[in-house]
Amino acid sequence: MGRRTWLAALALGALACGGGEGLPDGRIVDLSHAYGADTIYWPTDERGFEYETLAAGRSGGSDWYAAGRFATAEHGGTHVDAPSHFAEGKDSVDEIPLERLLAHGVLVDVQAACAADPDYRVRVQDLLDWEREHGRIPAGAIVLLRTGWAARWGDRARYLGTEASGPDAVTSLHFPGLEPDAARWLAEQREIGAVGLDTASIDHGPSRRFETHRILAEAGIPALENLASLAELPAKGFAVVALPMKIAGGTGAPLRAVALLP
């Protein structure tokens, strides 16, 4: 079944079987952290997420009305890196083909290796080991990497490897990521749709050249960062819907990602 046919079947099946009540005999897993005052951003962003309440109360004695205004950098919290973030002329957020953001999902669990080495980089061998047990990674799939770092969310020092902020802080980051060779293999040998993980960057913390970002960006592959609840997913047999705010020309955007389990 082609990707477009499969996407249509997924949507129609949910409508036809759910009776308007969602997915029957299945489950929806929220893969996104909420945005708020404690949302973790890249250390060079010192403003974080800002929310201003414009109105909250009752007018005329009974009618409730509330509204607010928010401000955020593109790259903070659960978000997508568009290819244009690291590759000139490649897709911005609003140009990413939807087929890359709604697709079959696979989960590669590397938390044991990451627990032993906080700077671990997922290798081609990790991906081959996954395929040996579960079969070939499908073309167009969204590949999710579970490092276990989502359990550290809310503790900035443990999550990023440092409490520091500002430009100098990037030299003291420690968290797992995806090895450049593995990124190239996923792009060229498996032609995946997107890749995501539960850390602050698809490159590991000590990276200075962001080679994995650049390889994926040149291949047109978006990266989903700071994902949540990957522990609730099986190795395969689920779908991922990862829809960002549609920012014209954006290099990244806040992301609401969910997994659909049968």
Gyration radius from the chain CA atoms: 19
Angle between helices 180-188 and 211-218 (to 10 degrees): 10
The CA distance from 98 to 76, in Å, is 22
Which residue shows structure tokens 């990674």?
A: 137
Round to whole Å and give the CA distance between 40 and 45: 10
Using the structure block, give the residue that is written with the tokens 């490159």: 203
CB 76 within 8 A of CB 45: yes
3-state secondary structure of 98: helix
Helix axes 124-134, 180-188, angle to 10 degrees: 50
Strands (E), 31-166: 50-59, 63-71, 79-81, 102-109, 121-122, 142-146
Identify the helix (H) or strand (E) that includes residue 158: helix 156-160
179 touches 145 (CB < 8 A): no
Does 85 participate in catalysis according to the annotation? yes
Is residue 160 a contact partner of residue 175, using CB atoms and an 8 Å limit? yes
Choose the catalytic residue: 33, 75, 79, 85.
Answer: 85
Catalytic amino acids?
85
